[in-house]
Amino acid sequence: MPANLNSPESLALLTRIADALEHLAPSGTAQADFTQADAFVWQAAGRRLSPVPKVNRVEMSLLRGIDRVRDQLAENTQRFARGLPANNALLWGARGMGKSSLVKAVHAEINHTKTADALPLKLIEIHREDIETLPDLMSLLRPDPHRFIVFCDDLSFDADDTSYKSLKAVLEGGIEGRPDNVIFYATSNRRHLLPRDMMENERSTAINPGEAVEEKVSLSDRFGLWLGFHKCSQDEYLDMVFAYVDHLGLQADRNAVRAEALEWATTRGARSGRTAWQFIQDLAGRLGKAI
């Protein structure tokens, strides 16, 4: 005999089922107030943007040893900010050489030099694990009058990861494609965004080896601007160190700083902008200087 749907027990059960379904359903994308800040972080779980009042960035003048790629990215971003054609950019190469720092520095520099009547350029960071929600973010940004850099740091994909297809569709291949007011910048240690041994393994085991690799390699082709970052020389490393010393006003014997900086890099097996900054933090701490 069918249960009485009007009974208190049935109504309570139906209410619990409705509440459960409401919690399981994806939440709608929340509208953002872009006047709150010039930088935001995409919170994929809530489909919303969280403002970043103060961005952790390095001044453009302190980025040494990357003059060519710095100028290329700055010019590309400046064209985009002015409403002219510009390319998505992939910054790839050696760790600690200022890839993500350059993106944030270029964003700050353009907003600092913009005309009074121009809207500020917005920087949106999306985490690697949230790439599949990129279409939702694009839908939120598309109707807004501002221009946006969508930035993903340390972008790469593993063997069984298919989320790269969402990125491919958004950048160039989908029906809607990338909105005119959005440009995508990514940093990676890999030029093709996946390990070389994985590419070679797919090439050796596939029936059509060229096609097996082509789909994933073609993701890199969506980035019209490839900027390579390479390990710095000893002179470039010391130039980074002393740029920080002068900028922060650290009072120390320069010969001693040089010897200590070289020893610091040797013990870590690497010379890079990150290594230079870590040495400067240690030096400032020993000198009792707040930075």
Whether 66 has a pLDDT exceeding 80, the answer reads yes
pLDDT at 198: 47
pLDDT in tens, 7-56: 767 667 777 776 665 555 445 556 778 989 999 999 999 889 999 999 99
Q: Are residues 61 and 182 in the same domain?
A: yes
pLDDT digits over 180-203, tens only? 999 999 999 877 666 555 444 444
**Pairing of the two strands 182-188 and 148-152:** parallel
SS3 226: strand
Cα gap 215→275, rounded to integer Å: 36
115 and 244 share a domain? no
Question: 72-128 pLDDT, tens per residue?
Answer: 999 999 999 999 999 999 999 988 999 999 999 999 999 999 999 999 999 999 998
- Contact 227/97 with Cβ under 8 angstroms? no
Residue 157 sits in the same domain as residue 257 = no
Given 191, 213, 229, which residue is the final one in a domain?
Answer: 229
Same-domain check for residues 259 and 220? no
Residue 7 maps to a domain: no
Question: Residue 32 has which token pair?
Answer: 């953002």
d(CA 89, CA 226): 6
- Structural tokens at position 290: 């707040």
The answer to whether residue 21 sits within a structural domain is no
Q: Determine the pLDDT at residue 171.
A: 75
CB-CB neighbours of 29 under 10 Å: 15
Range of lowest pLDDT (63-77, 115-129, 158-172, 252-266): 158-172
- Model pLDDT for residues 132-152, shown as the tens digit of each residue: 898 899 999 999 999 999 999
- Same domain, residue pair 144 and 282: no
Q: Clarify whether residues 244 and 167 are in a common domain.
A: no
Q: Compute the Cα dihedral for 258, 264, 268, 273 and give only its sign.
A: negative
Is 189 found in the same domain as 279?
no
Residues 148 and 223 in one domain: yes
User: So what's the pLDDT on residue 200?
Assistant: 47
Tell me what pLDDT residue 19 has. Answer: 62
Alpha-carbon span 253 to 13, nearest angstrom? 77
Judge if 58 and 158 occupy the same domain.
yes
Query: What pLDDT, on a 0 to 100 scale, did the predictor assign at position 189?
Result: 83
pTM as predicted: 0.80
Residue 202: which domain range? 39-229
Strands (E), 168-247: 182-188, 225-229
Q: Are residues 143 and 258 in the same domain?
A: no
Structure confidence at residue 4 as a pLDDT band (50, 70, 90)? low
Q: Determine, yes or no, domain membership for 262.
A: yes
pLDDT at 213 over 70: no
**Structural domains of the chain, count:** 2
CB 103 within 8 A of CB 186: no
